[in-house]
Amino acid sequence: MKTNTPQKSGHRPTPTQNETLWLLYCRPGFEQDCAQEALQQARRLRPVTVIEQPAIVPDSGYVQLTLNGQDLHYRELIFTRQLLRLHVVLQNLPERDRLTPILTALNDVQGEFGVLWLEVPDTNDGKMMTAFTRRFQPLIEEALLAQGKLSLASVPVAVGEQKPSRLHLFFPDKSTVFIASSDPYNSANALMGIIRQSMPAEAPSRSTLKLAEAIEVFLDKSEQTRLLRTGMRAVDLGAAPGGWTWQLVKRGIRVTAVDNGPMKGVLAKHPLVEHLKQDGFKYVPPRAVDWLVCDMVEKPDKVANLIGDWFAAERVKHAIFNLKLPMKQRVAALDSALGSIRKKLDDAGLSYRLTAKQLYHDREEITVYLTRTKRG
C-alpha cells in the first residue's frame, strides 16, 4: 500500500509554535475535495494558511495538512469524516516490535487520554488490517495504562463535565503509524468517523441506510425523540421504492410518497403511506408538513432551488436531502447549491440551521439537514 508521510524515514518532529498539523479521514477518492474545503475554512480564519502543501495520496481515505496555527471546525467540514490533531508519524516500524517505538514517541505527546482507538483507512487494503489492530489493541492499552497515558475511565461523564480526549493510532499499513488525538467536542464520536447501520429486513432498498445514518449524525437523541414523533406528517420526493419513506413510517410518521415509480414491499399498501404518482419538482402539499426528505438523482442546483422554495414558502419545518455531486469542481458545486438555499431563506427573513456531511453510506453525493429555528 502506498503511503505519503511528511518524511521518508524516522518520525515527524513536534510542530513548531506557528504550525498545526492535522489528519483528516474522508471517503476514498475525495481526498482533494477534503483538503480543498479544509484550506478554504482555514483561510477564512487567517489569510496566510499553508506552511506545507497538503499530503494527498489518491484513494487513500485520508489527508495531512500543515497549517499556520489555524484551528479547523469539524461540524463545518462536509467531506471530513474525522478531524485529528497529528503529533507524530512513525515509519519503518519493526515487524517484531512495533510497541517500543510507539511508546517512545508517545513520551513526547502531552496529556492523558480516556479512549484509545486503533484505526485503518476505509479501503480494501485497510480492511485487511483489522485483524492486526484487534490483536495489537490490548497490548498497546496495557502499556499505556502502565505508562499513565491512558485512563480508560468506565464511569460515564456527568453532565457539564469535560469529556476526556481520545488517542488515535492510525495505521495506513503495518509498518507506519500516525499518532494523533481528537477533541470529543470537535470530532466524530465513532471509530474511523463511521456510524455504521444494519440493513433492516423490511426496508425496500439499501438507500434506507443513508437516512438512518443522517438521523444519527444530525440529530442527538433528544432531538430524535422531539422532532420525529408519531402523528407527524412528511413528504418524500422521489420516494420509490421507499427506502427513505420506511425510516419515517417506522417512527409512526404519515408520509406522502411522491414518485412516478412504484413503492415496494410493506410500503405498497401501508396505512401511513399515501403514494402520489407525480413529478416531485411540481408537487405542492395542500398544507404545511413537518418533514421533507428527498433523494432524487438531479443536479445539485436544481434540488437546492426546490428545497429553498419549500422553506421560503413555509411549507415545511425540517428537511433531510441529498445533493448529487458532479465529477469535477465538487466543492464549487456545493458552495453554489448551498449558497442558493441560504440566499432564499435570508431573503425570506427566516431563521434556520443548515448542516451538511458526506456520510459513510453516501456515494457521489452529500447529505444536508435543514431546519427552521426560532429567532433570538
Active site residues per annotation: 324
Q: List every span in the chain annotated with CATH 3.30.2130.30.
A: 20-193
**Mean of pLDDT values over 121-144:** 95
Here the cell at position 209 is: 441506510
- pLDDT, residue 11, reads 56
Distances (CA, A) of 70 to 50, 166, 172, 370: 10, 20, 25, 28
- Which residues make Cβ contacts (< 8 Å) with residue 85, sequence separation at least 6? 20, 21, 22, 23, 180, 181, 182, 183
191-234 pLDDT per residue, tens = 999 998 999 999 999 999 999 999 999 999 999 999 999 999 99
Residue 339: pLDDT band with limits 50, 70, 90: very high
Return phi, psi of residue 158, to 5°: -70, 160
44-72 pLDDT per residue, tens = 877 666 566 788 999 999 999 999 888 99
Distances (CA, A) of 353 to 49, 212, 322, 341, 346: 28, 20, 16, 11, 12
> Which comes out higher in pLDDT, residue 254 or 112?
254
* Domain 208-372 architecture: 3-Layer(aba) Sandwich (3.40)
Distances (CA, A) of 61 to 73, 99, 123, 126, 366: 19, 25, 7, 10, 16
- pLDDT, residue 54, reads 84
The total number of residues written for the chain in this structure: 376
- pLDDT, residue 44, reads 85
Residue 5: pLDDT band with limits 50, 70, 90: very low
Instruction: DSSP letter for 150, please.
Output: B
Mean pLDDT value across the chain: 91
Here the cell at position 207 is: 438507500
Q: List every span in the chain annotated with CATH 3.40.50.150.
A: 208-372
Name the pTM for this structure. 0.91
Here the cell at position 208 is: 434506507
CATH topology of domain 20-193: VC0802-like (3.30.2130)
- pLDDT, residue 264, reads 96
Count the alpha carbons within 13 Å of 200 in the hemisphere toward its beta carbon: 19
What is the β-pairing status of strands 316-324 and 20-25?
unpaired
**Is the pLDDT confidence value at 15 over 70?**
no
- pLDDT, residue 110, reads 86
Tracing cell 412528511 back to the chain, one arrives at 234
Quote the distance between the C-alpha of residue 161 and its chain's center.
25
